[in-house]
Each structure stands twice: as structure tokens, then as C-alpha cells.
Structure 1
């Protein structure tokens, strides 16, 4: 059994980690940290976890968590994971960070977009970007994994086969993404209030969202050249889910049937990525609560563009489920352990 600690257990991603790991046959949860709910039962903070865990939340120092755990998940706001992960790696403890602190190979990019000093550029260059469908082998031997952002997960999975195969012009990529309100976290915010977001949809972070350079970093690696994208997220009045619709001009003539075969070959053996039948476009409802990513595409012969849509649950494949997928790879477990299964029906 692998002893696991979660630092920041009572946010939405932390709670989702507890939900998934409580049913993992090779994991023993040994520490759940929270300052706001210290001393309270985790199942009291999230009653849906009743019967799944009897652990209390504790206000532990990172060192105290490290004394108990072989691997730690960090579910903290950006800027807080660097000293924790640095010390954990010095002690030989594996780390999966769900925040942004380790996602950039060049920590200077992180500093530019997140407006805080990083603190460990050398370790950042060695962290592995935790998108298993792209970096599976590197994750297996990693000591520090940077779990991807939710928007980047949906966008990169949707575009990767086309970019690696040279089928689209990288200079023409437009990414239009829509997310549920849980992506904003559990903290009180005016924009997350029911009366503010209900019966409403709005763009935000236009021409400057912090997930943009993360998307560009990974797409550039796939394309073998620098890629700059136009990315615009929108807030939907739903709890969970991301739908990304992506547009790009074809770099050479290709039929839809040809591109569908490219996707089937690229994701062969990828248990969580599913290419839907022609004409069946992804719905966020279909992946709700699952670690799946549903994808479909169409070639617009009139404009010479390809349209790709991908749907994920932002808290599962977009965060905690993917983090457990990384854990499984790091410790040699089946990649689908504790994660297999469809979304909720209906």
C-alpha cells in the first residue's frame, strides 16, 4: 500500500482526490490538511464522502505530512507549492502538484504570466508535465509531476494528433473553451454566486488567460516549432465540465476519414480518450464524474479548416482524476486503477 498525503484537501480538487483515492486498492490515505477545517471530519466537510473516509482534516506542516507519506498531492493556489515540493524531493518523496508552479519548463514563463517569483528554476526544468497520453513514459520515472490545467488538458488532447502529424497550420489555431463554475474553486467570489452566473454565459481572461502559455508550450513541442494560439475561456452556469471547440486551417488537403484514422492511431491504447462516431459531438454531461475525454472532428471543405471538439470533467480528467492517473504510472499500477468507468447517466 502506498501512503498518500493531500495538502489542501478541502478545496474541490482535494475533495475529488479523496473521493477517488478512497476507493484505490493500493492507496492508504494518511494525511488530509486544511487550515479552515482543522479538527473536522472530512466527511463532515463533504457529506458525500460519508462511508468512504473516516479521516479528520489536520492543520499539519508540510514536514509533518512528509513524515507520514511516500507521495504527496499538493492542491494549493499557485505560488505555494515550490517550497513544499522542493523539500519533498530532497527527502526522496514523490510529488504530484495540481497547481501551476511546475508546469513550465522555463520558470521565467511562469513568473511572467503569474506575476510571482518561482524560487527553484532548476527543479522546474526537471519536472514532468503530467499529461499521460503525451508523456506517459517520462511520468513513469518522474519524482515531480506537474498536473496539467483543465483547459490545457482539453485543448492539447483535442489538437495533438493534428499538430504532430503536420495536418494543420499552427499559426491559425483558435481555441474556444467553456467551463463549469467549479473551475473557479470553492472560495467565495461574486462571479461564482448563483444569481451572477445562472442564466448567463460570459468570456473572461480574454487575450491573457494564464493557461495560454501552458497550451502553447505543449503544442509547440508537438509541432516541433513555436506555436501561438488564440484562446478564450467562457463561464457556463453548470457545476462541472469543459467543452473546447478548436479551429485551424489545414496545412495540406485531408479528408475527415483520413483524420479520424490519425486520431485512432494516436490514441491507440489510451483508455480514457474516446473518438466519438461521426456526427456525434461531445457533451459535458457524458463525461461528468469520469476521467474520460470525448473528442470528435469535422473537415469544413468550404473553408479549408478542421473543427475539433473535446469534452472533459474539469475536476476529474482536468484535475484530480488525471493526478491519480499519474500516480498509477509513477508506481507501476494499471493506469486505469480506481478511475475506470463511464460518466454519470443521464
Structure 2
């Protein structure tokens, strides 16, 4: 396939805009349609000044007015519930959804954590959980791909290769995320004066990404897994760092060997040299992941640390990576840019 026609639903949000940014450098993508209900009729440059030099981008329309004729892939960058309700009515194009609507396999679990009945429960069994490095074999046959959340992406990449070596009963995750992870809508808690010079935990003990992480870890462990998870908002635009404390009877060298074996051939996931701590500045603006494992001073414990860009590998970059694999394109197409530094 030489050219892929895409539509981006929800292009006025951070994930939608970053997907457009990445798509512009993809050698196979043609952007056919962009939607944003509240901004319908405006150009992308009017909503996002950094697109001023791309006047040929389609103007924003309401999602229901998007012409899907000839569109190969629809990227859903909409809020949960709204995404499934709209995407469930689409037939023809393949769907890569960046919301939470198709990540959880159980509709009752979704209702419990998201506060409303699932809009399209009949589609859940056929939706593929798209953590690319672990879904690669199934992506070519998928019609609906659910992109993992940003926190689950980081946590699962760090822990899935280690589940045979660690105790699944004792997993503690402390996570830090930039403000863009909360979306672009106006919220008092995200005002500059509220977040600058401060770090604060939120959704303590009940973050919506917890059941998603537990679902995938449980599948890997073949038994129920529950985690302790505490996210924190930090005063930066983008980036995410997760620190995970796990218990094991194995030396840290065994865990490091497992990570090295699993990711040695991966284009985007990188085990750092021994003793080097992952940092968000190593991956900013890119689809790359850096991780490492360290011995704790408490016997039987190790510390696994992972850094990603929440808007790229944690969202739009992984969505394009999934599309590449779905369509038989080079997996790195449109995603080969080095991280931004400083």
C-alpha cells in the first residue's frame, strides 16, 4: 500500500494534534478529514498555531459530517463514551481508537470505572488491545485497535517481560505525568498558577488506568493481579516516568537479562546501560521508550523505571505504529524522529 487515507476525529485535542503532526511526516499518509465539533469550520492553524505552515490541511468539521468515502483508517481521538458511540456506527475503514472505550474487555468493569454503561458492548470482544510490541502478530487482522493509555503503556512495557520472575501479588507503581495528560479542556486544577512549582498526587487509589493494567498483567500471569498505583501531576507539558517496586527471588541480573532479550530487536524500546536512570528528557517528542532495572537495598525487591512521552508512545505515536503494522508498512514509518533535547 503506497498511500493511506486517514481521518482524525478529535483533532482539536492534544492527542489529535500530535497525531496530525506525526502524520505530516509519514511517507504513506494522506490526511483526508479532520473533525472537532466545537471548532468546526476553523482551520487547524486557527486552533493550533504550529500548523500555520500547512495551509493544505483539511478544515475542521463536525464528526458526523466527516466524509469517510475512500478513507482507509479512522483515528478516534475523542473522549471516552463519545468515542465508542460514534465509532460503532462506522463501517468500512479500520479503526484505531485512542480513547479508553475499547481497552477493557468487560463492559461491567468499564461501567464501574467510567461511570456509564458501555455504548457498544458488542464490539468489545473483537477489539484488539494495541500495545504494539505485544500485539504485533494480531494487528494485521484487526478491524478495531484500542491504543493503551499512557500509564499502562509505560507500566506494561516494564513489567510484562518480568512476570515469570516477580511476585504478582506485590506490585507498587508510582507515576509522574506532564499536564498534557489531562487533556486540553479548561480545568481549574490545571491552570498555570495551580500546577507551577508543585507536584500533587491525584485519583489516589482509584485511577481509571488501574483495571487496564491489571487486565493485561493478569492475562500474562494467568491469574488475577492487583496493583498499588499512585499517579502524580508534575509541572511540565509532556512526558511520563513510572517507578515500579516489585518483589522477586531472582537477582537483578536475571530481570535485566529478561528485558534485554525481549527488547533487543525492538526499534522503540531501549534498555539503558547498567546504572543509568531513565529520564523524560531522553524521549521527549518521540516514540521511544527507555527503561532500566535496579536492585533495591531491601533484599528481595527491585526497582523498574520506565520513561515515555505520554503524547507519542503513550498515545498518538503508538496509534500510528499500530496502523503501520496493521497495513504492512514499515513499523517505524513516520516515527523515526529523534527525541527533542533540551
TM-score under structure 2 normalisation? 0.96
Whole-angstrom distance in 2 between the partners of 1:61 and 1:246: 39
Counterpart residue number, 1:305:
301
Structure 1 ranges of 4+ moved more than 4 A: none
Equivalent in the alignment of 1:22: 24
The question of whether the paired residues in 1 share the 8 Å contact of 2:171 and 2:228 is answered with: yes
Counterpart in 1 of 2:96?
96
* Residue number in structure 1 paired with 2:238: 240
Q: Which residue of 2 aligns with 1:156?
A: 156
1:315 maps onto 2:315 in alignment: no
> What's the secondary structure of 2:332's corresponding residue?
coil
Looking at structure 2, the residues matched to 53 and 273 of structure 1 have their Cα atoms a distance apart, in angstroms, of 35
Deviates more, 1:63-72 or 1:259-268: 63-72
Matched position secondary structure for 1:78? coil
* CA distance in 2 between partners of 1:337 and 1:321 (Å): 10
1:189 aligns with 2:187: yes
Instruction: Return the alpha-carbon distance in structure 2 between the equivalents of residues 48 and 77 of structure 1.
Output: 23
| 2:172 pairs with 1:174 | yes
Structure 2 partner of 1:270: 266
How many residue pairs end up in the alignment? 340
Structure 1 stretches lacking a partner, 5+ long:
none
Distance 1:140 1:257 in 2: 35
Greater shift in the superposed pair: 231-240 or 294-303:
294-303
Name the counterpart of 1:125: 125
Q: How does 1:179-218 map to 2 (within 5 A)?
A: 179-218=177-216
Is the 8 Å Cα contact of residues 34 and 57 (structure 1) preserved in structure 2? no
Alignment-derived partner of residue 289 in structure 1 = 285
Give me the whole-angstrom Cα distance separating, in 1, the residues matched to 2:137 and 2:66.
Answer: 31
Shift of 1:137: 0.9
- The corresponding residue for 1:80 is 82
Kindly indicate whether the alpha-carbon contact (under 8 Å) linking 2:34 and 2:66 is maintained by their aligned counterparts in 1. Answer: no
Structure 1 window deviating more from structure 2 (36-45 vs 276-285): it is: 36-45
Deviation for aligned residue 1:30: 0.6
The answer to whether the 8 Å contact 2:32/2:58 transfers is no
SS at match of 1:66: coil
**How far 1:41 moved relative to its partner?**
1.6
8 Å CA contact retained: 2:37, 2:63: no
Shift in Å, 1:2: 1.0
* Aligned-CA RMSD value: 1.4
- Cα distance in 2 between the residues matched to 1:242 and 1:306: 20
2:62 corresponds to which residue? 60
Query: How many Å separate the matches in 1 of 2:63 and 2:174?
Result: 40
Q: Which whole-Å CA distance do the structure 1 matches of 2:14 and 2:64 have between them?
A: 20
Partner of 1:229: 227
Is the Cα–Cα contact under 8 Å of residues 173 and 229 in structure 2 kept in the other structure?
Answer: yes
TM-score, reference length from structure 1? 0.95
Out of 197, 212, 218, the residue aligned to residue 220 of structure 1 is 218
Q: For 1:33, which of 32, 35, 46 is the aligned residue?
A: 35
Q: Distance in 2 between matches of 1:13 and 1:188?
A: 16
Spell out, residue by residue over 1:87-119, the C-alpha distance to the aligned partner (whole angstroms, 9 max, x if none): 22xx22200110000001112211111011113
Q: CA deviation at 1:63?
A: 6.1
Query: Which of 320, 325, 331 is 2:327 aligned to?
Result: 331
